[in-house]
């Protein structure tokens, strides 16, 4: 294969008069003369100009929608507006023919649901190519942020014997024959006969192992896939999603909130600075969709303006108790517009979170110090003995994007919490050891990768920001 120049390079530093080879997919072929060619390196197409009398009729016919072609030609100054150069085709080769009538994605607006069924082609659309370039950018920026701040990237295991969140929403990992598993004397499945000699699951979080790392390397982060068998068919839940979990020795809950805010702003800023063309396409897409909506259903600001606003303003920080009080004295509560009553001791519902973020404060909100009974066993008990040093970062349009806490470093309190919450302490012997031998105050959080990608790209459904979504009943591709 001869060397090719990527279209991003051609358009970034166009050198009129040079001969280049480009390869890509035909997005349009107008008037048997103008090919819009895209190779995925940028949202922008390169215009290829074809003098059809120089090519065989058979070849011209094969230059069809989403055929893959190679073009050698000369860069010339563009006649039309919108681009500075175009490619005058001298040689065209069909690398992969296509059938424009049978191509599963016809060139018209398709619903997101339809495109999900065609996940093997949806990345070729403008919207999805922009989303997945930005997804890459955020993943890269995450590593850059932590590397630049002196953190070590740590790989936590994917197969695990412990349930970090204690929520019991785990996928079993086993090699036992489901039709006739080994049984113990009580007739129950004998997990000691299983591959790992014990019951194992896919991880729901790398946090507990990240704490091991933090108490040795000081500052670590994990970034890997996590799995939750929760039967939530919502626009914010996946059964397989990626999580970033920084864990830092000597941090308290306030340091943790500072890190969460600085880190999320960095990611947004990184995309604003480096991916303006992709963001512009996504911004325009939303504006087009909103033209058909009622005014009250539209977003208060465009996508890029929203991102800028979040970067430029401090996040609101309130306690859970303050949040409940604000909610109880709110208009929608007094007028009976909330489905669930906000009451001290029960979890904030999505409708409460959204009202706080979108109506009351109109910016991201960090809620901290939640009642101990609605949070995980490892969160640090506050002096009031009622709340724990937990924090959730809530974003407009999405709700919870980050969940974290200061960890309980005091062995006796941790042990009594484990007992209170009926957690199998045997599996956590190593976790308790960390408190016995050189424990220290420490804190961390988990950022839901797809949720931040959702926020930055403005996509409504989390299934449209991961290449191949896993949700209840769906594991195609
Ligand atoms: O709040 P969560 O459950 O926190 C933890 O797992 C902690 N162990 C993290 C830590 O302190 N190291 O999950 C963290 C984040 C949530 O805020 C949310 O953004 C995302 O993970 N998340 C999901 N994203 C997509 N689909 C799901 N089913 C998710 N569940 C959680
Ligand atoms: Mg949470």
- Those residues whose C-beta lies under 8 Å from the C-beta of residue 278, and which sit 6 or more positions away, are 43, 129, 130, 133, 134
CA of 306 to the centre of ligand 2 (A): 24
**CATH for the 124-169+204-464 domain, from 3.40.50.20, 3.10.20.30, 3.60.110.10, 3.30.930.10:** 3.30.930.10
Distance CA 288, CA 97 (A): 33
Distance CA 462, CA 198 (A): 34
> pLDDT truncated to tens, each residue of the chain (477 aa)?
568 999 999 999 888 999 999 999 999 999 999 999 999 999 999 999 999 999 999 999 999 999 999 999 999 998 877 788 999 999 999 999 999 999 999 888 899 999 999 999 999 999 999 999 999 999 999 999 999 999 999 999 999 987 777 777 899 999 999 999 999 999 999 999 999 999 999 999 999 999 999 999 999 999 999 999 988 889 999 999 999 999 999 999 999 999 999 999 999 999 999 999 999 999 999 999 999 999 888 988 999 999 999 999 999 999 999 999 999 999 999 999 999 999 999 999 999 999 999 999 999 999 999 999 999 999 999 999 999 999 999 999 999 999 999 999 999 999 999 999 988 888 899 999 999 999 999 999 999 999 999 999 999 999 999 999 999 999 999
Count of CB atoms situated within 10 Å of the CB of 277: 13
Whether 228 is in the pocket of ligand 1, judged by its Cβ within 6 Å, is yes
The SS3 assignment for 237 reads: coil
Count of CB atoms situated within 10 Å of the CB of 302: 16
- The pLDDT score that the predictor gives to residue 407 is 98
CA of 396 to the centre of ligand 2 (A): 16
Whether 165 is in the pocket of ligand 1, judged by its Cβ within 6 Å, is yes
Nearest CA to ligand 1 atom 30: 237
Whether 378 is in the pocket of ligand 1, judged by its Cβ within 6 Å, is no
CATH class of 7-103: mainly beta
CA of 352 to the centre of ligand 1 (A): 18
Chain centroid, CA 302 distance in Å: 20
- The pLDDT score that the predictor gives to residue 1 is 58
Give the residue extent of every domain in the chain: 7-103, 124-169+204-464
Distance CA 450, CA 228 (A): 14
Distance CA 212, CA 375 (A): 21
């Amino acid at each position: 294969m001869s060397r090719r120049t990527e279209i991003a390079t051609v358009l970034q530093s166009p050198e009129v008069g040079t001969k280049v080879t480009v390869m890509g997919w035909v997005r349009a072929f107008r008037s048997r003369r103008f090919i819009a060619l895209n190779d995925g390196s940028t949202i922008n197409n390169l215009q290829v100009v074809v003098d059809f009398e120089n090519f065989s009729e058979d070849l011209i016919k094969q230059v069809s929608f989403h055929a893959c072609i190679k073009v050698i030609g000369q860069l010339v100054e563009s006649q039309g507006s919108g681009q500075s150069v175009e490619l005058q085709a001298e040689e065209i080769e069909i690398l992969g023919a296509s059938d424009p009538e049978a191509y599963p994605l016809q060139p018209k607006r398709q619903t997101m649901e339809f495109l999900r069924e065609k996940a093997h082609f949806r990345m070729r659309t403008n919207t999805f190519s922009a989303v997945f370039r930005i997804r890459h950018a955020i993943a890269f920026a995450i590593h850059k942020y932590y590397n630049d701040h002196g953190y070590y990237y740590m790989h936590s295991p994917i197969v695990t014997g412990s349930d970090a969140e204690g929520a019991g929403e785990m996928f079993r990992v086993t090699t036992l024959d489901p039709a006739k598993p080994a049984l113990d004397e009580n007739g129950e499945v004998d997990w000691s006969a299983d591959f790992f000699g014990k019951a194992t699951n896919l991880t729901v979080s790398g946090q507990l192992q990240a704490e091991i790392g933090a108490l040795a390397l000081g500052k670590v982060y994990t970034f890997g896939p996590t799995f939750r068998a929760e039967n939530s068919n919502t626009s914010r839940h996946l059964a397989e999603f990626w999580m970033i979990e920084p864990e830092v020795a000597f941090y308290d809950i306030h340091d943790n909130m500072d890190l969460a805010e600085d880190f999320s702003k960095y990611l947004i800023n990184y995309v604003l600075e480096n991916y303006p063309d992709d963001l512009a396409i996504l911004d325009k897409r939303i504006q087009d969709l909103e033209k058909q909506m009622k005014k009250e259903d539209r977003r208060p600001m465009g996508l890029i303006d929203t991102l800028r606003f979040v970067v430029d303003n401090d996040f609101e920080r309130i306690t859970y108790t303050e949040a409940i009080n604000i909610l109880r004295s709110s208009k929608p509560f007094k007028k009976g517009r909330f489905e669930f009553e906000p009451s001290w001791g029960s979890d904030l519902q999505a409708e409460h979170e959204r009202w706080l973020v979108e109506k009351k404060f109109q910016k991201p909100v960090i809620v901290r110090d939640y009642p101990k009974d609605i949070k995980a066993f490892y969160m640090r008990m506050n002096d009031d003995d009622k709340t724990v040093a937990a924090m959730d970062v809530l974003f407009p349009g999405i709700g919870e994007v980050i969940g974290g806490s200061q960890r309980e470093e005091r062995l006796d309190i941790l042990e009594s919490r484990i007992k209170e919450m009926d957690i199998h302490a045997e599996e956590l012997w190593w976790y308790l050891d960390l408190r016995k031998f050189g424990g220290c105050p420490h804190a961390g959080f988990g950022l839901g990768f797809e949720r931040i990608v959702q926020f930055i790209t403005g996509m409504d459904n989390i299934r449209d920001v991961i290449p191949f979504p896993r949700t209840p009943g769906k594991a195609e591709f």
